């Protein structure tokens, strides 16, 4: 029998990240947590009901920022510790301790924004002119109409761990409780869990194996659909309650406030892709069906690559030359950051039991970024790594040039630097070979890993999520059958009769944590739209476009998304960048078809 993944303790150290830059050990974490609690109480006593004079407010904001840096450091350490091994009891205890303290610290600090927002317009203008993070204050001014009394804000802050409990419960169900059963294929038993399915089985080139693994995976999810639906319903109903309390017309408007994005921009991103990209991806599905000689194109076939037998294997060490080759255009300082990531264990490459799924980049302001990935040895992992290093490069530059409160870009923009790096990787690989199969593999990878994942998977999540919030705004509760139907309807609308929606695909909503992160899913397509346009500008304009992009990254959160994109030379107030990106994807799909014809006739 296939034995599956190793335990975390059996993974070589050079494949793990080193968290000592954050905290040397758990004891140092607990000591800092106690110190932050104590200093937050002292800060509260010193400044609460005293934020009226500009000098006092500026002094308070400096101390506030220092506390937030430590708070951010604590939160990242807890997440990083737990995500690499969700079965680790010490990590679970540490995370629970932070969760308990989170509300206490938040309530002690909540008065700062409450008291600033009740200042006169003249006082706020004077403050903004003198403060080192003016855009942060601009966002507070825009939130003024929705601000509650300081007492209510304090209570809401103290309840913040409760608001996070649905997300934590979802993670517990997903990573600890769902019992996956092994399945048989060709007289061999295969173990199953989230990591093996999503990292290895889902894109297997063997259609029978792929379908068996999907069926076994779906059967396990189905047993937990009602619990997971109840958990999700709890989360969105809490969001609705807060939206109502604050006076927003809808949950969507409430969630968009922090992103500094209009409802029109949000709806356009979903509507244009649902109408214009759908036929392109239906054509792509038909091409995949033809290449793989499938009787039908089923839902579980959508993740297969164009040419799985061709995909080169790649070691972690060899990935460096591709990352260097692709990202070198961004300059020596950027590559120095990349080298630091490899050489100083910023990256967790390991595959082990209990490790969370997916990939992400955490960027504590206190230290440097940490990249979470599960390295499978497939060449396509270079795209994933380039993506996460895009986040690292963004935060490295923004944190170097912006104070904490203006360092983090809007969620709408945050996926642009990461997806742009994927485009640079594709451009690099494509320009370094004339071999038709390799070119087709590169284009196939950029369609399946970059565009399908970020513009289709996440976009369909967003379209589904929009329907969820419409129901919540109408006072409805969510159950598993309701969510299953919404998910199936969105996929039917997008893929039409090009793809058979296998029993089990309706449970896709159970697989993503994004639904617990506000309106996050649609921002992948927004980021990729900006990233695609910028990567094309770099290809055509060279250093001029690179310089503009680096300035955009340095700006961090000191500008809103429209202003940030403008620095990079992209106008996102119109649908032109989105239409241009979809046209580019259509060209890539046509190129796959042309190369397939060439390969088949040789």
The pLDDT tens digits for 537-571 are 999 999 999 999 999 999 999 999 999 999 999 99
> Per-residue pLDDT averaged across 227-232, rounded?
96
Beta strand 183-185 pairing with 188-190: antiparallel
Question: Is 60 exceeded by the pLDDT of residue 2?
Answer: no
Half-sphere exposure of residue 20: CA atoms within 13 angstroms, side-chain side: 5
Query: Residue holding tokens 């992009």?
Result: 549
Task: Report, in this order, helix, strand and coil percent for the chain, each rounded to 5.
Answer: 70, 5, 25
Cα–Cα nearest to 352, from 78, 12, 19: 12
pLDDT value at residue 451: 87
Query: Residue holding tokens 């259609």?
Result: 207
Neighbours of 423 (CB within 10 A): 26
Q: How confident is the model at residue 3 (pLDDT cuts 50, 70, 90)?
A: low
pLDDT value at residue 404: 97
CB burial readout 4-18, b (16+ within 10 A) else e: ebeebeebeeeebbe
Alpha helices by DSSP H, 84-175: 89-109, 111-117, 121-130, 134-143, 150-158, 160-172
Are 307 and 440 in contact, with CB atoms under 8 Å apart? yes
Question: Is 90 exceeded by the pLDDT of residue 203?
Answer: no
The DSSP code for 157 is H
> Per-residue pLDDT averaged across 491-510, rounded?
95
> Per-residue pLDDT averaged across 365-387, rounded?
93
Question: Is 70 exceeded by the pLDDT of residue 130?
Answer: yes
Q: How confident is the model at residue 357 (pLDDT cuts 50, 70, 90)?
A: confident
Fold of 8-147: Butyryl-CoA Dehydrogenase, subunit A; domain 3 (1.20.140)
Q: Virtual CA dihedral for 209, 215, 217, 223, nearest 10 degrees?
A: -160
Are 355 and 349 in contact, with CB atoms under 8 Å apart? no
Q: How confident is the model at residue 1 (pLDDT cuts 50, 70, 90)?
A: very low
Specify the 3-state DSSP secondary structure of 370. strand
C-alpha span between 1 and 414 (Å, rounded): 43
Question: Is 90 exceeded by the pLDDT of residue 312?
Answer: no
Q: What are the residue boundaries of the structural domains of the chain, listed by start?
A: 8-147
Cα–Cα nearest to 209, from 221, 220, 196, 222: 196
pLDDT value at residue 406: 97
> Per-residue pLDDT averaged across 193-200, rounded?
86
Q: What spatial distance separates the first Cα and last Cα of the chain, rounded to whole Å?
A: 40
Q: Which of 250-254, 362-366, 377-381 has the lowest mean pLDDT?
A: 377-381
Question: Is 70 exceeded by the pLDDT of residue 39?
Answer: yes
Q: Is 119 left (phi over 0), alpha (psi -120 to 50) or beta?
A: beta
> Per-residue pLDDT averaged across 461-487, rounded?
96
What is this structure's pTM? 0.88
Q: Which of 179-188, 338-347, 422-431 has the lowest mean pLDDT?
A: 422-431
Task: Give the chain's length.
Answer: 602
CA distances to 478, 486, 538 from 543, in Å = 51, 46, 7
Q: pLDDT tens digit string along 93-121?
A: 999 999 989 989 999 999 999 999 999 98
Report residue 564 as tokens: 């940030």
> Per-residue pLDDT averaged across 14-38, rounded?
97
Name 420's Cβ contacts closer than 8 Å, sequence gap at least 6: 390, 530, 531, 532, 534, 535, 549
Q: How confident is the model at residue 463 (pLDDT cuts 50, 70, 90)?
A: very high
Specify the 3-state DSSP secondary structure of 112. helix
């Amino acid at each position: 029998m296939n034995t599956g993944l190793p335990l975390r303790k059996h993974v070589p150290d050079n494949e793990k990240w080193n968290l000592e830059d954050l905290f040397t050990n758990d004891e140092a974490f607990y000591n800092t947590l106690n110190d932050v609690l104590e200093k937050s109480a002292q800060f509260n006593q010193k400044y609460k009901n005293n934020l009226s004079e500009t000098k006092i407010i500026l002094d308070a904001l400096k101390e506030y920022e220092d506390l937030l840096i430590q708070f951010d450091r604590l939160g990242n350490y807890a997440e990083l510790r737990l995500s690499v091994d969700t079965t680790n009891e010490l990590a679970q205890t540490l995370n629970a301790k932070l969760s308990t303290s989170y509300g206490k610290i938040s309530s002690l600090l909540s008065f700062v924004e409450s008291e600033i927002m009740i200042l006169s317009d003249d006082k706020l203008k004077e403050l903004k002119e003198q403060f080192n993070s003016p855009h942060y204050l601009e966002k507070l001014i825009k939130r003024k109409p929705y601000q509650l009394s300081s007492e209510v804000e304090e209570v809401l802050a103290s309840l913040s761990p409760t608001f996070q409990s649905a997300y934590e419960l979802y993670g517990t169900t997903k990573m600890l409780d769902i019992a996956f059963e092994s399945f048989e294929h060709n007289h061999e038993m295969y173990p199953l869990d989230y990591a093996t399915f999503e990292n290895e089985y889902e894109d297997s080139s063997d259609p029978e194996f792929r379908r068996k693994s999907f069926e076994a995976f779906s059967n396990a999810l189905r047993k937990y659909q009602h619990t997971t639906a109840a958990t999700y319903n709890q989360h969105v109903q809490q969001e609705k309650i807060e939206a109502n309390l604050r006076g927003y017309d809808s949950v969507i408007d409430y969630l968009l406030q922090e992103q500094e994005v209009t409802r029109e921009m949000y709806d356009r991103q979903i509507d244009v892709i649902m109408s214009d990209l759908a036929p392109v991806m239906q054509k792509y599905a038909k091409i995949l069906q033809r290449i793989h000689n499938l009787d039908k194109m089923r839902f579980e076939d959508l993740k297969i690559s164009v040419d799985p037998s061709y995909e080169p294997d790649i070691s972690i060490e060899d990935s460096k030359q591709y990352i260097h080759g692709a990202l070198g255009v961004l300059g020596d300082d950027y590559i120095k950051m990349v080298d630091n990531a490899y050489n100083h264990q910023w990256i967790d490459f390991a595959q082990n039991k209990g490790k969370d799924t997916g990939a992400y980049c955490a960027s504590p302001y206190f230290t440097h970024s940490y990249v979470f990935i599960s390295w499978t040895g497939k060449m396509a992992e270079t795209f994933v790594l380039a993506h996460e290093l895009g986040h690292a490069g963004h935060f490295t530059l923004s944190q170097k040039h912006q104070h904490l409160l203006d360092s983090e870009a809007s969620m709408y923009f945050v996926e642009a630097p990461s997806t742009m790096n994927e485009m640079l990787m594709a451009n690099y690989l494509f320009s370094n070979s004339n071999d038709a199969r390799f070119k087709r593999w590169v284009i196939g990878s950029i369609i399946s890993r970059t565009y399908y994942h970020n513009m289709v998977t996440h976009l369909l999540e967003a379209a589904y999520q929009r329907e969820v919030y419409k129901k919540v705004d109408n006072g409805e509760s969510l159950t598993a059958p309701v969510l299953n139907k919404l998910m199936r309807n969105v996929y039917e609308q997008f893929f039409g009769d090009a793809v058979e929606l296998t029993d089990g695909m309706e449970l896709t909503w159970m697989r993503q944590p994004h639904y617990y992160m506000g309106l996050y899913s649609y921002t992948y397509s927004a980021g990729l739209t900006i990233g695609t346009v910028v990567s094309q500008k770099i290809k055509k304009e060279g250093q001029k476009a690179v310089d503009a992009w680096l300035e955009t990254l340095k700006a961090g959160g000191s500008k809103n998304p429209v202003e940030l994109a403008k620095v990079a030379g992209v106008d996102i107030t119109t649908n032109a960048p989105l239409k241009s990106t979809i046209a580019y994807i259509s060209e890539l799909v046509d190129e796959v078809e042309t190369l397939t014809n060439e390969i088949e006739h040789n």
